[in-house]
């Protein structure tokens, strides 16, 4: 077993470097063993991360017991829920690339032999996986696990209940004191927010990719089972090191198709359509929207989890988790890809059972015959757009446009009850370049939900949506307004058609009229500085994963 770390600590040339490590408390015996990084996104700022220190300790114990020396470092972490609806949200998606870069920098600079990446939450999980895939050391991910749901007046609640409570108060459907009670009860433990929002969706697809141990993604953050899986993760990375198993041998096209298949069956977050292509790019695989479109038409939705349904991620865990779902999917799952267990998907699924508790339906009785995400094309989105169909009662909507140049203006109009039923709210200049940063529109959609208008109003944006969004909400419209896409030409009163069954997003305006509107069109040029300026100059289209060019 050839160790990269010998470049740093081996021989007489390593003497001064060993001395520096000894200043950290390491001893000669530690430095003779493989040096295994623990990339941890722990902080005291994010609820999904406050428990990760304990998990890192368990991982370190597993590494030591298996003959390695753990060395921990941290990455940044932004909580979308806390930043939602503010200028801070512009920094969330761009942070994914910073996280990937920071992981690459640390792993390459210190010449680590292997790595365990510990993360929770949207952007952090894919950013970590992008970094370890790029460096291609023996690697394994440990995701932090879901928060337990809260309870209020006999009902299970979560953070989306709190977001929607704002609209309920504004519409008079809920008293402010009741909303404050929800605030106190909706997030009772650490962990990723309790529904199948982006954080838990990404954890599930990472497990489906084969990059974390079976059962990890749905195992509750505060359980003793999580600590046991953390220790086992530390032990297992040493097995990967001994066998030379790297992300490039696990992250194959078949593995990515398995992950998308699981996502469709879960009815998970639309943000996976950004993150999976970005991860695939790191191992030289292209995942165009057409792959998501093809699988969405083939894979039925077998689970109905929050926000579209009432089941929580802990319910999915009790049903057997992602391995049980993959087993239920039968021939739709490819069995041959290798995983971090050192075994194939098919070997991992042997003996795994589906607990019949109503959470994972059989193929013969799905929630809907197609997957929980639809890809739309048409005159309003020639480059594609994304719609979460999970939980939708109607898959077709048409109405007159109400156009807003940024999220805040739309939120203000919704709050002031200026949006009429049957309208299509268009929010533009929120894409990767135009935002910049491609903010999530959860504040707008939650207000509509809380005011009881979710089924009567549609929302279309070149921005994106939270995994907690529900309703007729179309995001990732490409090309975005800042690049001169058709969404930039929409005017109040234009008729818009959304048809998820046919995969269409149409601006029903005569072509001659649109050509007239194009004359002299110039997108606004916001004053930018710092990282947002850099990101806006280098971000690709949402249809390409909003990766940095």
> For 469, left (φ over 0), alpha (ψ -120 to 50), or beta?
beta
Tokens at 166, concatenated: 């704002």
Spatial distance between the Cα atoms of 386 and 371, rounded to a whole number of angstroms = 12
- Work out whether the CA dihedral 502, 508, 513, 518 comes out positive or negative: negative
The H-or-E segment that residue 385 falls in is strand 381-388
Which residue from 92, 208, 194 is spatially nearest to 141, judged by alpha carbons? 208
Spatial distance between the Cα atoms of 246 and 546, rounded to a whole number of angstroms = 26
Q: How far is CA 440 from the centre of its chain?
A: 12
Residue 466 a catalytic site member? yes
Q: Within a 10 A sphere around the Cβ of 333, how many other Cβ atoms?
A: 22
> For 225, left (φ over 0), alpha (ψ -120 to 50), or beta?
alpha
Strands 373-378 and 155-157: unpaired
Active-site pick, 92, 212, 466, 478: 466
Query: Number of helices and strands (H, E) in the chain?
Result: 22, 14
Are the C-beta atoms of residues 84 and 442 closer than 8 Å to each other?
yes
Spatial distance between the Cα atoms of 256 and 479, rounded to a whole number of angstroms = 25
SS3 for 53? helix
Active site residue ranges: 466
């Amino acid at each position: 077993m050839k160790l990269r770390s010998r470049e740093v600590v081996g021989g007489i040339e390593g003497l001064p470097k060993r001395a520096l490590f000894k200043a950290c408390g390491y001893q000669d015996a530690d430095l003779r063993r493989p040096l295994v990084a623990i990339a941890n996104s722990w902080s005291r700022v994010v609820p999904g991360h406050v428990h990760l220190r304990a998990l890192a300790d368990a991982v370190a114990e597993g590494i030591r017991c298996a003959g390695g020396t753990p060395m921990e470092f941290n990455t940044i972490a932004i909580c979308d829920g806390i930043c939602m609806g503010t200028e801070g949200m512009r920094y969330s998606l761009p942070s994914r690339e910073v996280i990937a870069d920071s992981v690459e920098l640390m792993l390459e600079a210190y010449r680590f032999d292997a790595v365990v990446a510990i993360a929770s939450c949207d952007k952090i999980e894919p950013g970590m996986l992008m970094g370890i895939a790029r460096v291609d050391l023996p690697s394994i991910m440990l995701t932090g696990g879901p928060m337990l749901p809260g309870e209020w007046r006999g009902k299970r609640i979560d953070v989306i209940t709190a977001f929607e409570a704002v609209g309920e108060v504004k519409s008079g459907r809920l008293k402010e004191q009741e909303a404050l009670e929800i605030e106190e009860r909706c997030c009772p433990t650490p962990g990723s927010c309790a529904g199948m929002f982006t954080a838990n969706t990404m954890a599930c697809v990472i497990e489906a990719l084969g990059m974390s141990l079976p059962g990890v993604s749905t195992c509750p953050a505060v359980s003793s089972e999580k600590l046991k899986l953390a220790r086992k993760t530390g032990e297992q990375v040493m097995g990967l090191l001994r066998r030379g198993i790297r992300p490039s041998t696990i992250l194959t096209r078949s593995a990515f198709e398995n992950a998308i298949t699981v996502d469709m069956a879960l009815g998970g977050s639309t943000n996976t359509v950004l993150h999976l292509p970005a991860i695939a790019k790191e191992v030289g695989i292209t995942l165009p929207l057409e792959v998501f479109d093809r699988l969405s038409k083939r894979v039925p939705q077998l689970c109905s989890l929050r926000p579209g349904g009432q089941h929580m991620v802990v319910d999915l865990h009790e049903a057997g988790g992602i391995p049980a779902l993959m087993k239920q999917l039968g021939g739709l799952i490819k069995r041959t890809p290798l995983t971090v267990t050192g075994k194939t998907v098919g070997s991992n699924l042997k003996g795994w059972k589906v607990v019949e508790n109503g959470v994972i339906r059989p193929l013969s009785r799905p929630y809907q015959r197609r997957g929980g995400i639809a890809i739309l094309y048409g005159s309003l989105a020639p480059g594609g757009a994304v719609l979460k169909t999970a939980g939708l009662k109607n898959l077709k909507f048409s109405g007159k446009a109400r156009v807003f140049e940024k999220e805040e203006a739309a939120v203000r109009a919704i709050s002031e009850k200026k949006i009429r039923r049957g309208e299509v709210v268009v929010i533009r200049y929120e894409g990767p370049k135009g935002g910049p940063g491609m903010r999530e529109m959860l504040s707008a959609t939650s207000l509509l939900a809380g005011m009881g208008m979710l089924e009567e109003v549609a929302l279309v944006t070149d921005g994106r949506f939270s995994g907690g969004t529900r309703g007729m909400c179309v995001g990732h419209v490409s090309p975005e307004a800042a690049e001169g896409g058709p969404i930039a030409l929409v005017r109040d009163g234009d008729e818009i058609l959304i048809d998820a069954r046919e995969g269409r997003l149409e601006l029903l305006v005569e072509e001659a009229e649109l050509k007239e509107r194009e004359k002299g069109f110039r997108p606004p040029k916001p004053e930018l500085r710092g990282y947002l300026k850099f990101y806006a100059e280098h971000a690709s289209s949402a249809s390409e994963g909003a990766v940095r060019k």
